[in-house]
Chains A and B, each alone.
Chain A
Amino acid sequence: MKDYGMVIVGAGEAGARAAAELRARGWTGAVTLIGDERHAPYERPPLSKQALSEDGEPAPVTILDRPKLEELGIRLLSGDAAARIDRASHEVHLAGGARVPYERLLLATGANPRKLSLPGNASNEMLYLRKFEDALAIRGRLAAGKRAVVIGGGFIGLETAASARAKGCEVTLIEAAPRILMRGVPEPIAAMVEELHRRNGVSFKTGTGIESVNREGGEYVVSLADGSRVRCDVIVTGIGAVPETSLAAECGLEIENGVKADEYLATSDPDIFAAGDCCSFPHPLYEGKRIRLEAWRNAQDQGTHAAGNMLGDRAPYGAVPWFWSDQYDRTLQVSGLADPSNTTVLRDLGDAGKLYFHLDGEGRLVSASGMGTPGGIAKDIRLAEMLIEKRAHPSPESLADAGFRLKELLKA
């Protein structure tokens, strides 16, 4: 290889892990991490949790702080965006004018909140949550006695609602679909989450669209399709994310629900790889179905994995999808891809929580979703992950029997 070195665009979860892995694998050439945020790489999950709810001045929780970057010999170009990729000359052009040559390039550009445009004069005053500054802006508006509206019953909306409750706000969550968490988790788990939020004082307006958002004097008025109105002091919108593909599209890489990568996480240009929220890839455990995940562990694992392939591993990526979400004192964890179309098995752990397993038509375990205390469900979710990885066909009876140790199934 030439001494152009390895270049990573996007200094987030996937980008940071990739940079660290290049060094861990002994790559001694240049490693350049290009990030448009001014921070060293930091964790996003705390943004909807501790950064909103905890007392004291929040600070980004760094993944690789500057001393560590220096120690590893990773050059971080922060506060400057990659504006264009010149594939012919193997160069990244930065918005600030600099050019960075690459031998291999990783796109780890993440995703952006999907914007909601509504009639009324306050549509562009709604807040979104993706970056540290977004969390600061929202946090500054949450205080005891304030009224918050959260639009969108996905994970980020729900965690924001819980944090707003912790701050003493009155919270109304509006979801256009008939229920919250329509995608990704079994219906009974979504019902448990909603019930938990209700018990903690969140009001729900589900199955109703929004007609308009207006500022009237010192407050906002959200008018709903069912004729009702909600008055509030802050509106946070969390209706999903859109993969950041503009750089890739502009230089002619294939796009399909994200930057299109193959099983080696290589894009349609063999010298350019993709990882994390921006990347769609075929998953070998799900018949090669093309998926894109917006999950922390996936970003971590793909970043690490892509680094190996940038160095020539040519190893396919097939980690079992896993994510968690914290809701008050409970946690939700899912491994695999939830698919209720065949068999669903309940494992009831009593006060510790509930797990739902999905088996496919042949009885193979494809997902496990749990909601409960972290101590209660995490072990079984992790064991299920290993069973999914092994393409195991566990008996529904043993999955359902809370007294039966799932570890035994691994030995089978």
Chain B
Amino acid sequence: MAQTEWIEACEVDDIEEEDVIRFDHGDRTFAIYRTDKGDFYASDGYCTHERFHLSNGLVMGSTIECPKHNGRFDIPTGAAKRAPVCVDLKTYPVKLENGKVYIQI
């Protein structure tokens, strides 16, 4: 098991409800989501179809839609839900502390 750490990604208020933002850390890119229910999640930042930033996509409920060819993923699980994506998205644990969003990578 590789070592994991909690890192501060953003403020809770940086993400509107039913939206997503991009978070870069080192040479990696993540997407941090806030669903329509107000829950926070994190995943790899790139679509698994082509290397495209999911943070430019649309969050509908708890689904993220890729802006490039409209592939879709379930945000909580990262499961691929619509062609052309067929590979699941890697997700990361999230915790909220003192108004900040932390992700474990």
Contact = CB atoms under 8 A, between A and B. Distances in A.
Interface of A: 17, 43, 63, 296-297, 300, 304, 322, 324, 331, 374-376, 378-379, 382-383, 407
Contact of A17 (B52, B53, B65, B83): B83
Nearest to B65: A382
| Most chain B beta-carbon contacts within 10 A, residue among A296, A304, A379 | A379
A212 B83 CA distance: 44
B56 A374 contact: yes
Interface stretch (B5-13, B23-31, B67-75, B93-101): B67-75
A331 B65 CA distance: 17
B89 to A, nearest CB: 18
Given A297-B70, A324-B69, A378 B56 contact: yes
Contacts of B70: 297, 322, 382
Interface of A (DSSP majority class)? helix
B58 A374 contact: no
Interface in B67-93: 67-70, 83-84
A379 B52 CA distance: 14
B69 A379 contact: no
Contacts of B83: 17, 300, 304
B45 interface: no
A300 B83 CA distance: 8
Contact of A375 (B53, B69, B84): B53
A70 to B, nearest CB: 16
A374 B68 CA distance: 7
16 contacts: A17-B83, A43-B84, A304-B83, A322-B70, A324-B68, A324-B69, A374-B67, A374-B68, A375-B53, A375-B56, A378-B56, A378-B57, A379-B56, A379-B58, A379-B67, A382-B58
Interface of B (DSSP majority class)? loop
Contacts of A324: 68-69
Given A322-B70, A374-B52, A374-B68, 8 more contacts: A304-B83, A324-B68, A331-B68, A374-B67, A376-B56, A378-B68, A379-B57, A379-B67
Contacts of A331: 68
| Most chain B beta-carbon contacts within 10 A, residue among A17, A322, A407 | A407
A378 B69 CA distance: 9
Contacts of B53: 375
A100 B53 CA distance: 45
A411 to B, nearest CB: 11
Contacts of A43: 84
Nearest to B83: A300
Contacts of A407: 18
Contacts of A297: 69-70
Contacts of A63: 84
Nearest to B66: A378
A379 B68 CA distance: 10
A322 to B, nearest CB: 7
B70 to A, nearest CB: 7
A60 B97 CA distance: 48
Contacts of B68: 324, 331, 374, 378
A337 B57 CA distance: 23
